């Protein structure tokens, strides 16, 4: 990504953002809520267009591609949505099989083998006949992960993969992301504001705020950053460069002044 600018109305989301996702690595994108992390994934996938700047994947400028070329590129990109986004009327097997049925003409025996392999990789081969309503939150997330890798993508994007999970399930997802990245040779982008899990899983981390990268580096070195903003974020401090109070007029004037709210 090079010099990305993107706004929603009068609100500027990205103001000259530039970063790299190395092939075969897990890269964490961290920052507080509202900094545009999910928006960045949509720009990478071509769902949104930047006001200016470029997103280049494997030598292809995403936003100069034709519709057919963009769809072909998306087949090489997996996505784990924050909610899992399983299709509620399909069982676990058919949820994972869906991308194969949509994009290939595989014979049923081979399709079944591929789905079973992906379910085995996430530890849910035995749950293939369950419906999404019968799954726990962590199981649903793992099924969604199996679906995201079923086409053997070169890139997989994780949108808040740890949200709403108990500590044991978080540990399971962390382990799966790392193992799958190493086994399949993926390039993984993990968008999260869960500091501990993101640093644990990532080879490299970018911290984003106010539309730009405020700091970056190997995950194990980020804790020693000299940036006051990064230290506030990592330590979860309530006040600092990111102020506790929303901008307002003087408190005394507001409380006792003649002017109304």
The rounded percent of the chain whose pLDDT value lies above 70 is 90
- Rounded distance between C-alpha atoms, residue 188 and residue 72, angstroms: 19
In this predicted structure, what is the pLDDT of residue 63? 92
Task: Give the H or E element holding residue 27.
Answer: strand 26-30
**What are 7's strand-pairing partners?**
12
Domains annotated on the chain, with CATH = 1-76+153-163+187-261 (3.40.50.300)
In this predicted structure, what is the pLDDT of residue 244? 57
- Rounded distance between C-alpha atoms, residue 229 and residue 242, angstroms: 7
Q: What is the mean pLDDT of residues 29-52?
A: 86
Residue 245 pLDDT grade (very low, low, confident, very high; cuts 50, 70, 90): low
User: What's the pLDDT tens digit per position in 90-149?
Assistant: 999 999 999 999 888 889 999 999 999 889 888 888 889 999 999 888 888 889 989 988
- Residue 33, classed as helix, strand or coil, is coil
Residue 126 φ/ψ region, left for φ over 0, alpha for ψ in the -120 to 50 degree band, beta for the rest: alpha
Identify the residue with better confidence: 254 or 111: 111
Q: Which of 200, 193, 146, 195 is CA-nearest to residue 171? A: 200
Angstrom CA distances, 109 to 38, 112, 113, 115, stand at 37, 5, 6, 10
- Statement: residue 259 has pLDDT above 60: no
- Rounded distance between C-alpha atoms, residue 151 and residue 69, angstroms: 17
Query: 119 Cβ partners below 8 Å, 6+ apart?
Result: 92, 93, 96, 125, 127, 128, 143, 146
In this predicted structure, what is the pLDDT of residue 5? 92
User: What's the pLDDT tens digit per position in 4-31?
Assistant: 999 888 888 898 889 999 888 999 988 7
Residue 62 pLDDT grade (very low, low, confident, very high; cuts 50, 70, 90): very high
Q: Is-contact 129 92, C-beta < 8 A?
A: yes
- Residue 103, classed as helix, strand or coil, is helix
- The pTM (predicted TM-score) of the whole model is 0.80
């Amino acid at each position: 990504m090079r010099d990305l600018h993107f706004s929603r109305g009068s609100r500027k989301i990205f103001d000259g953002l530039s970063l790299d996702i190395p092939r075969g690595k897990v890269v964490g994108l961290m920052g507080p809520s509202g900094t545009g992390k999910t928006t960045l994934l949509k720009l990478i996938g071509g769902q949104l267009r930047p006001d200016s700047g470029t997103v280049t994947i494997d030598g292809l400028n995403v936003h100069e591609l034709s519709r057919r070329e963009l769809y072909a590129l998306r087949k090489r990109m997996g996505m784990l949505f924050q909610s899992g986004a399983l299709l509620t009327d399909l069982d676990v097997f058919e949820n994972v099989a869906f991308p194969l049925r949509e994009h290939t003409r595989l014979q049923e025996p081979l399709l079944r083998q591929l789905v079973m392999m992906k379910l085995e990789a996430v530890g849910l081969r035995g749950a293939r006949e369950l419906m999404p309503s019968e799954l726990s939150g962590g199981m649903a997330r793992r099924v969604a992960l199996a679906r995201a890798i079923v086409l053997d993508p070169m890139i997989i994007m994780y949108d808040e993969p740890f949200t709403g999970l108990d500590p044991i399930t978080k540990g399971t997802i962390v382990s799966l992301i790392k193992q799958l990245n190493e086994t399949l040779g993926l390039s993984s982008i993990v968008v999260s504001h869960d500091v501990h899990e993101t640093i644990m899983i990532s080879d490299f981390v970018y911290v984003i705020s106010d539309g730009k990268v405020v700091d970056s580096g190997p995950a194990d070195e980020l804790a020693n950053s000299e940036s006051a903003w990064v230290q506030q974020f990592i330590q979860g401090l309530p006040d600092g460069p990111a102020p506790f109070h929303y901008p307002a007029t003087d408190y005394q004037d507001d409380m006792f002044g003649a002017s109304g709210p």
